[in-house]
Structure formats: C-alpha cells, structure tokens
Amino acid sequence: MNPALLSGLNPEQRAAVELPDQSALILAGAGSGKTRVLTTRIAWLISNRQVSPHNVLAVTFTNKAAKEMVTRLSAMLPINTRGMWIGTFHGLCNRMLRAHYREANLPQTFQILDSGDQLSAIKRLMKAMNVDDEKYPPREMQNFISGSKEEGLRAHEVEAYDPYTRRKMEVFAEYDAQCQREGVVDFSELLLRCYELLSRNTALREHYQERFKHILVDEFQDTNPLQYRWLKLLAGVGEGHAPSPQPSPGGRGGEREAGQTGNPRSGCSQRQSSTSALFAVGDDDQSIYAFRGANVGNMQELLRDFHVKNVIKLEQNYRSHGNILDAANALIQHNRNRLGKNLWTSESGGEQLRVYEAETDVDEAGFIVEEIRELKREGVHLTEMALLYRSNAQSRVLEHALVSAGLSYRVYGGLRFFERQEIKHALAYLRLMENTDDDNALLRIINFPTRGIGARSIEQLQEAAKQNGTTLYDAAARAGGKVTAFVGLVESLRSGVTGLPLPEVMEHVLEHSGLLSHYGNEKAIASKRREAEERLENLNELINAATLFVHENEDDSLTAFLTHASLESGEHQAGDSEDALHLMTVHAAKGLEFHTVFITGLEEGLFPHQNSIDNGELDEERRLMYVAITRARRRLYLTFAQRRMLHGQTHYSRVSSFMRELPEVLLQWITPRFSPSKPFQSGSHETGSYAKAFSAVPLEKAPPAPGSMWRIGQRVFHQKFGEGVVTDTEGGGSEGRVQVNFKRAGSKWLALEYAKLTAI
C-alpha cells in the first residue's frame, strides 16, 4: 500500500482514484484537478492494486498532455514509464500498426503523411487522373477523404447521389490505392486502419483486450464516433459495426489476415472476452469541438454501453474565485440534456464581474487598453492577461489599439490579422494595383483564386522577364492566354476604383478579384464551412480597417494604407521571453487559465454567433461561453458595443442573450452614463443594477437624422454605381448612411462620409 499517493486529494478525487475495477465516468469540472486524478489513478492501480504497467492504456488528445502524464507518473513511482502505452489516439494507433504491420497490410517502414504531404499527393493523383482541379479543388478533395475516414468510411461505403460525389469517390479509392503502393498513411488512416485491423482480426483483438485491463481516457467529451468505437473494441464491449468485406487498399480483396477466426463481417469473436474497465474523465459542459467531429453524446452512450454505475463529480474548483464560478454555473444551467454538476470553491467570492458597454467597437478596445495599463500598474504581468473573442476577425480592432498603445501581445493559436492568408492575398492585389513592379505580389495572386495558370507557365514567365530585363507584370502582358488575361483583370481593378474612397476600393477589389466568391464557394463544403466563414469575416474586416484608417489619419490614399498594414503587421511582435498579452479565440483558450480575462464582443449574432443561432446550436455556444468564463482566476471583464463596424458600415447591436443569464448580483456595471440622444440607451448602471439594460428594446437601426440632406425617393448619382433612388436613411453626421436602389448595381447601403453622392 502507498497512502502517500492519496495525500492532498479531496474526498471526491480520492473516491475516483480508489474506485474498484469497474468502468466509471469522472465528471470533472473546469479547474477541478482532473489531470491529477487521472495520473494518480494509474499510480494507485500499479502501486496498491498490483496492476502491471503493461496492463494499462491511457489515451490523451495532445502529445503535451501525454508527456505531462508520464512526467507525473515518473515522480510518483519508481518505475520505468518508457514502455507504457500512454499517448494520443493517433500515436497509439501508429504504435499498434508498427507492431502488426503485416496483419495491417503495411510495409514495416510505412511513413506518415502530414497535412501538406497529403495535399501534394492528392494533387499529383488528380493530375494523373485528369481531374479538373477547378471543379474539384484539391483541398476540398483532401477534406472529403479525411472526413470520410474519420466517420469510419472507405470510398465504396460513401453514399453518392450524384456524379459529382461519385467522381470524388473514385479519387478517394485511387488515393487509397496510391498510398498503399507507396507505403504511406495519413493521420485519419492511422485510426481507421487500426480499427479495421482489430475488427477483423479476432486473435489480435482478444490479445489486446486481455492485455489492457484498465483503459483511461482524458477529455472524453471530445471523442468522435470512430474513436469511441475503437475504445469499445479494445474494452470488449459491444464492438458494434465492423467494416464490411471490401477490397483492401492494396487490392488484396477480402482475404483474412493471419490468425483471424470467427465472422469477419461482425467484427466479433465466437466467444466474448472479459470486459476491461474504462475510466473516462470528461466534462460535457466543455464540449466545444462539434465542428471537428466531437460527439458529446458519447458520454451518455458510455453510461449505457458500459453499464456505468460509478459517476463521480469533481466540482471543487482550484482556479477561480466564487463569483466567477457562480456566473458559470448560472449560465450553463440553461443547457438541456446535461449530466449536471455545480462548481464551487473554498476561496472567497472575490470581485464581481466587470461589465462595460461601449458606444463603438473602437471605444471597447480603448477601454480594454486603459484597464490593461491599470492592471500593469497594480503589478499584474501582461502574460497573466488574455483577450478572448468569438471570431478571429474581432482581433483586428484590438490589435490596432494595442499597437497604438505600445503594448506587446501574442496571438495564441493563430496569426495576427495582417498576417492571415486571405488578408495577404487581398493586400497583394492592392499592392500590385498600386505598383505593377511588385513581383512578389504578382506571384502570390497570379493563380489565386485558381485560373488555370500552372507552375510551368509561371516558370516560363520568370524566364522571359529575366531574359528581357523586365518585371513579371510586363512579361505577363506579352505572354498571351490566361497569363495576359490576369493582367487584364488587374487593369480592370485599377480602372474600377478610380476616384472611389478607400473603403469602397477595398469592397470593389474583394468582389471583383474573385476572393469573396472563392471563399463563398468553400462555405458550401461541410468540412470547409467554418474556415471559409472565418476567412470571409476577416476579408470584410479589412473594409473596416480601411474605414478606421481614414477616420484616424484623414488620409484616403491606398499607398498610405498599405504602408500602415505593413508596419502594423511587424510591430510589437513579442519574443518568447517577453512579457506579452495573450489574444485568442475562445476555442483556443480551452485548457488555459489567466489572472485576468476580457471576454469581448458580447453581442447577439457575434457571441452567440449568428450561424449557431440559425442552426439551433445555442447549447454549444453556451458551453463555449462557459469555457470562456472559467478561464479567469481573479478578475473577469465582459464587454460589448452598441455599434460595430461590419462590412465597412456601422451596425447597431443588441447585447448578447448570455448576459441575461448571469445573476445581477454578480455584475458590476462600470459603463459611464451615455447621452440620452445616443441610440441604444440602456439606462443608468451607476446603481449596479442591470435590469434597465435589458428592459429597453435596443434599436436595430438608428433613426434618420433630422434635417438630413437625403430623403426617401430622392434620385442620386454615384461615381461607381451610377443612378439610383434613396430607399432608406439611417443615422446622421459621420455615422449616417443611406440605402440606394441603383439601376445597374441593385440595392446598396452607403456611408455618407465616403459615398460622395450627388443629387440629380
């Protein structure tokens, strides 16, 4: 016996560690010490139950978590952990396939393709098969193949209702065959091939079922259906569907592997192996990765499939003050079908949550900067603070405010705004329009979006430019074909923006370059939808950046804006050892914690996101908000704006419905009283009450300004769109805008400050 292992554990943690050899679900709340419980459970099994390390399998979702678990075990027990099976799903499947490469129909030295290598292999295959890469973009094909595998499907098992999908199935099948010939596997293949191996090879499956008598899984709420099926196979519990007999990727047909007995179609042996104990640790309230295939329903299925009698709730939080936890509990109680738990702490209630209602998104960013400066004066390091946002596009205004204030920051798990792929594409079009000698800009966009200009054509273009001593653009003008057509596109863009204000230059280029339609088409692809939506949001934010630049600098020139973009992308990039603020999406923040957290943009349609509202996914959005709240240890700010720039125009916002779900007693409104003339007047917050903030109905549109020079029905002329009729007006002064129905361009909302309309 080793009682020292249990010292310092609270009663619930200790109960989880000392559970008998039965399957169990440990419902571990945020900051409740789940990693300690999981690691101590393994050490306790080995030390007190005399379980061999050989009989333990521990599955994590990241290599970092696996390494931390091994390090902690090494400190707890005098054992060699090198041979233990502790790792990620992909890592463990790779290990199993290496050990049984013959049975898996793989070469002993099979190689693993990373995402980039996989894409290159697909491009090479599509070229050999004469597949149109414009109709079937290679990255779309890659997502189709990987997504199918993650659902446990081979090419012949995918349902195809149209010729388009059938062609993708043909590429999928040939891709599998190509990988088999070359002795390579991609990441999604690792898990699927391992699952298929265990499903059809009875002797091998029973070997591992007898070996791994204790299976422990971290972050169980993030498992996808195939991962759960793989765990059930290893545990010997209702193995379920096994792949039907099929031609193997190597073309060997449906022959049995060595040592196989029983029915290969069922995936089950004639006898049932003894069941292994599955110790699953997870939190259904932190399941936020449905877009990656995670199925929170696996937790309910676990209770049924493994006849789980032991559900232990770890509710004591060691991270946050009481008021923060009370807010998180109150919010998440609005979700349906929860397993249910209530976080608490032995510490004090701490500060109230600080709520700030800004007039604009720029004001919101300015307030945050001032609070950061004050926190620094109080001795809180920048690295102990985080700015969280729902959408990557929101970072642009925050980054600009931080750069202007001289505050160092890092974008965690992502790129700075002006470094993002789609922004660099858009800026390359603008740079080339401004300076046709810019060869780097030309090379970036000459075939993006794809227009049939291949690598060989670009090489010939470079050779011609070198021989004639000209720029690539000059050489392209004389090249003919699709290359010269690209030059025509650039010239068309240049002439199309003549005389337009900077924000409208951005809008014109994004639309006519094909960037918006390119990413818009990607939205139709299920596996690409989320990424495409973020890229579109970022491109629209570029219009906002131009609008703000003109406001702040009183400079409408494209050259000045491009200079600003270059400087801002390079300034205040923190070094690894430098004290720097963290900026990140809420998704990226999971698993992290900070002294102070700012949750920004708490407006309906932004957080919760409009797509989730439309698709009935509000529960997952609320879980995302729950994760955001529980990142804070001591201080939490909730901020939102009455008006926000979207698509280069001012939109009036409603406060997030999540704010209504937080108890009034937990909130401290620090918003100053606004002028009664301002729209979205929310009442006084000086008393600490937030009831008035929601009693007034927020305005979706500001009323027309009295005495506006434009009236509904008036005929007007715009330099770009031509003649039109005013159909609506909104706001006044620098915030005013009008809706005009143009004969050629249709209905458009235009900012009065930049539209330069003339009356007819």
Q: Please identify every residue annotated as catalytic.
A: 34-35, 218-219, 286, 631
Region for residue 246 given its phi and psi (left: phi exceeds 0; alpha: psi -120 to 50; beta: otherwise): beta
Q: How would DSSP label each residue in 332-370?
A: HTTSSS------B-SS---SPEEEEEEEEHHHHHHHHHH
Both structure tokens of 249: 């990727």
The SS3 call for residue 403 is helix
C-alpha 540/C-alpha 534 separation (Å) is 10
How would DSSP label each residue in 293-327? Answer: T--TTHHHHHHHHTT--EEEEE-B-SSS-HHHHHH
Report which of 671, 665, 674, 696 is spatially closest to residue 685, judged by C-alpha positions.
671
Q: Which residue, 234, 280, 338, 225, is CA-closest to 19?
A: 280
The amino acid at 15: A
Residue 534: which of 656, 669, 393, 657 has the closest Cα?
393
- Label the pairing between strands 737-742 and 746-751: antiparallel
Confirm if 389 and 413 have CB atoms less than 8 A apart. Answer: no
CB 695 within 8 A of CB 685: no
Between the alpha carbon of residue 439 and those of residues 421, 461, 481, 484, 660, the distances in Å are: 18, 11, 19, 15, 53
| 722-730 and 737-742 strand pairing | antiparallel
DSSP conformation letters of 68-120: HHHHHHHHHSSS--TTSEEEEHHHHHHHHHHHTTTTTT--TT-EEE-HHHHHH
CA distances from 513 to 48, 427, 495, 556, 749 (A): 67, 11, 13, 21, 21
Provide the token pair at 463: 């050779």
Structure tokens at 339: 């397993």
Torsion, Cα 572 575 581 587, to 10 degrees, reads 110
- Residue among 294, 298, 297, 201 at smallest CA distance from 243: 201
| Burial bucket for residue 758 (CB in 10 Å: 0-12, 13-18, 19+) | exposed
Number of alpha carbons in the 13 Å side-chain half-sphere of residue 483: 21
Gyration radius (Cα) of the chain, Å: 29
Look at strands 758-759 and 715-718 and give their pairing: antiparallel
How far is residue 389's CA from residue 394's CA, in Å, rounded to a whole number?
7
Phi, psi of 196 (to 5 degrees): -65, -40
Measured CA to CA, the distance from residue 662 to residue 638 in angstroms comes to 11
